[in-house]
Amino acid sequence: MQSGIGDQVDLQRFGIPVVQHLPGVGQNFQDHVWVGCIWEYRQPLAPRNNGAEATFFWKSDPELDTPNLQTCIAEVPLSSAETAARFNPPAGSWTMAAGVVRPKSRGRIRLTGAGPLDPVQIEAECLSHPDDLEAAIACVGLCREIGNSTALHPFAKREVMPGNLKNAELENFVRDGVTTYWHQTCTAKMGRDAMSVVDGNLRVYGIDNLRIADGSIMPRVTTGNTMAPCVVIGERAGEILRKDHAI
């Protein structure tokens, strides 16, 4: 955008000369988010390896074609600043991170100035779609069911958070607890509609010799972690360049 590629109205607002009007630049922001559910250990255990060695995918609705929830198990307490201040989880705790991985919410990235050191304004809009909030609440319920199960009883002295919250209290807990999985993507999406930024060969529309090869070109964030898809995008970019330039 600071190079003049983006929505012309936004660029002109900061006096940036328009090189190519592409209104989709910075739009379609997506991310995976999670909410921490925490239990205190009966006997504190030192974290092993990376401290988060287990994950699973699940569906909030059995009628869904693919899982829309992912939970990661962490051997330490993880929470947002808001829920940590409210529940004060002890150091000797472990976490089930209740994640939403098929988000319908869409955010955007905006400029705050024309200079390269001016920060971008990230409007993540997490849980802005009601289906995402519903999915997050379902995942918190699933985590509580597993964390309070007989099988995990030897590892759980008590449930620290959220406890048996209902209705508005549970919704507020989820909204306060939202944290990113650091999978921010999709703001320069591949496609053929008016909001697309790159074509099927990763070329930026209207700009010669410019391609994008990272997670921003995905039209929709992948259900799982984004590192492997980004590697595939990079590999595919290399193949395209070798072919185009007979390397």
Q: How does pLDDT run across 81-108, given as a tens digit for each residue?
A: 999 999 999 999 999 999 999 999 999 9
Q: How does pLDDT run across 23-36, given as a tens digit for each residue?
A: 999 999 999 999 99
pLDDT, residue 146, reads 97
Does position 118 have pLDDT exceeding 90, yes or no? yes
Question: Where does the chain show beta strands of DSSP type E?
Answer: 5-6, 20-21, 27-29, 33-40, 54-58, 69-74, 93-100, 107-111, 120-123, 158-161, 178-180
Output the pTM of the full model: 0.93
Residue 153 bears catalytic tag:
no
Considering the chain, what percentage of its residues have pLDDT values greater than 70?
100
Q: How does pLDDT run across 148-184, given as a tens digit for each residue?
A: 999 999 999 999 999 999 999 999 999 999 999 999 9
Mean pLDDT of the chain: 96
Query: Which of 21, 129, 183, 245 is the catalytic position?
Result: 183
